[in-house]
Structure 1
């Protein structure tokens, strides 16, 4: 039997989930295009509205990163990329996170300087259907209107992100779900100007900038640790992935295995597993090793490939006996 690496296909039910996620991301881009246009047309001199507009612009990054990564990861492995192209998901995650951090920092400084300088942003009036209307009413109406779709989309995406184990999709969903805070902050800032609280606009902008920076930092930390081959975690980075324990339990249950332990790294949305096994009596035949490998891969679609390594003693990092410091230094 020939070893096969870089599996790219999904189970049929998850293919449907992926197609749904792709459609949802295209819907997100269309809604964002409308939101960005409406906010730009009504933002006037409000710092809070400016921050909300920039956040909407940055919200294009995660769905674009997801759509691009989906096309790349399906490419089969090659001699130049023997592990496949699954890391494209992690790269997209990192790019989106860095953009959020950079813009959040900029907005935080810009809004803070406006507050320290005591800037009083004027909000004028516009002619609408023959009536003179305070622009602040339009600003608040637009923010209330554009806040609803991302929240709904975000809740749907979280379920899809869990099914697909896709952290870019989860990061996008997390940002969408929190968009109502940006809308509320903008509305309060504009309303504050209307009642004479000049500082409310800058304070709201600082709040929004802080929210952007928080999202960016959280996602950048997760993206960097994944690219550094940290232990595979759940899609929300909340805990070690339970599939690690399933692989170890399966191998320990084989009649020829005395003990087993694995190190598992997240390749973007699939896992690469290095399984270490200690044979009971002697090294099993090649067919037994291949059958054990295939059995592990069949446990879950996320096991993209697996390397089986027979050893005399398990490494300490996967549950083996940790040697004394003097022995490790030799």
Structure 2
């Protein structure tokens, strides 16, 4: 019987499968973009359609973006390593930023050129009917590749693949504009063809800006939306053992989410119980959002965002032991000491074995000897304790 794959093995298998799926859909889209780009550029040139020519150039920018996607996906789906313990997904974000910048640059150049043509009134030739055929083929083909690419992007949770899908959708929309403008130009409104070229360039700029701005927000560690943040806090607060949540920070890496959260629990529980409470919080959050990559939880005995948090200058264990020995004498070897650092005081618990002398076991004597220790809050003495 085969043993189930470990989380690390499963993660490696997922990365390999995602990279393969992304490469396949991108290569198919790139071949389609080359064919459509050639058809539209040739038809636009031969049959006098500036809008179709610009649309063809748009298709060739899709080819450039496909090459970017292939390179970036190969790197971004690499396994985490010593220098990149959280993985390489930010490379995908950077690739999306580059892709958006390319779209903005191409769209701006095409918009400027055709705006000048429109102002100068250079639209004086009626486009031929093959322009309509080329545009119709483009609409059908790009709409198909959009749905195919988007389906893969959602399946592998890749913003870059989704961005490339919307790039294909923009090409389909621009071809619709070509259809309408060519019909208008053939009806006698020749300026519609050049105006359509400007509109298509504007579509390219808009999509490029959206990709770029979303990538910039991710690269500067923009967190989750307020509603998602509050939803995750509610999940933590409703977990048994959690008294409060006083900090939750989030950031994105590609499609994945990284979280840091501070959980306030009872101050007298064990370390292992606090950790177990934190694991229940992690489970609840992962159930709510399946793209959480990592949750780093910090267990607090009190809210350290209070106006007077517990000072780090309070004495540590060895200093407390030294004071005890000085004040009440040498402690039995099996004595256990538990310290609670709360509200700027050290609260002390001593656990003695019943075999210790009654003088050592005297809680009144111990409290009396320690009464003038300003750093101590309370002193508890237990016999045959845990």
**Where on the TM-score scale, by shorter chain, does this alignment land: which range?**
0.7 to 0.9
Report the CA distance shift for 1:96/1:38 in structure 2 as closer, same or farther (over 3 A).
same
Report the CA distance shift for 1:116/1:16 in structure 2 as closer, same or farther (over 3 A).
same
Does the CA-based 8 Å contact 1:7-1:304 persist in structure 2? no
| Equivalent residue, structure 2, for 1:37 | 38
Q: How does 1:152-301 map to 2 (within 5 A)?
A: 152-232=144-224, 242=228, 244=229, 247-260=232-245, 261-282=247-268, 284-285=270-271, 288-289=274-275, 292-293=278-279, 296=282, 299=287
| Equivalent residue, structure 2, for 1:140 | 132
Residue 35 of structure 1 and its aligned partner are, at CA, apart by: 0.6
Higher RCO (CA 8 Å, separation ≥ 6 residues): 1
The answer for unaligned runs of 5 or more in structure 2 is 1-6, 308-386
Alpha-carbon RMSD across the aligned residues, in angstroms, is 3.3
Aligned partners of 1:12, 1:246: CA distance in 2, in Å? 31
Residue 222 of structure 1 and its aligned partner are, at CA, apart by: 1.1
| Pair member with larger Rg | 2
Report the CA distance shift for 1:255/1:190 in structure 2 as closer, same or farther (over 3 A).
closer
Aligned partners of 1:226, 1:40: CA distance in 2, in Å? 36
Does the CA-based 8 Å contact 1:143-1:186 persist in structure 2? yes
Match among 303, 313, 316 for residue 313 of structure 1: 303
Does the CA-based 8 Å contact 1:9-1:74 persist in structure 2? no
Point out the more displaced range, 79-88 or 282-291: 282-291
Aligned partners of 1:11, 1:296: CA distance in 2, in Å? 22
Q: Secondary structure of 1:305's match?
A: strand
Q: TM-score, normalised by structure 2?
A: 0.66
Residue 65 of structure 1 and its aligned partner are, at CA, apart by: 3.6
Aligned partners of 2:144, 2:57: CA distance in 1, in Å? 21
Residue 250 of structure 1 and its aligned partner are, at CA, apart by: 4.6
Q: How does 1:113-128 map to 2 (within 5 A)?
A: 113-120=116-123, 122=125
Report the CA distance shift for 1:283/1:7 in structure 2 as closer, same or farther (over 3 A).
farther
Aligned partners of 2:137, 2:92: CA distance in 1, in Å? 32
Match among 76, 82, 87 for residue 84 of structure 1: 87
How many residues are paired up? Answer: 294
Q: TM-score, normalised by structure 1?
A: 0.76
Aligned partners of 1:227, 1:80: CA distance in 2, in Å? 18
The answer for unaligned runs of 5 or more in structure 1 is 1-5, 124-134, 233-238, 322-330
Residue 262 of structure 1 and its aligned partner are, at CA, apart by: 2.3
| Equivalent residue, structure 2, for 1:303 | 292
State the Cα deviation string for residues 117-154 of structure 1 (Å, max 9, x = none).
1113546xxxxxxxxxxx72222211111221211221
Does the CA-based 8 Å contact 1:8-1:76 persist in structure 2? no
| Equivalent residue, structure 2, for 1:102 | 105
Does the CA-based 8 Å contact 2:12-2:79 persist in structure 1? no
Residue 83 of structure 1 and its aligned partner are, at CA, apart by: 3.0
Q: Is 1:50–2:53 an aligned residue pair?
A: yes
Does the CA-based 8 Å contact 1:62-1:169 persist in structure 2? no
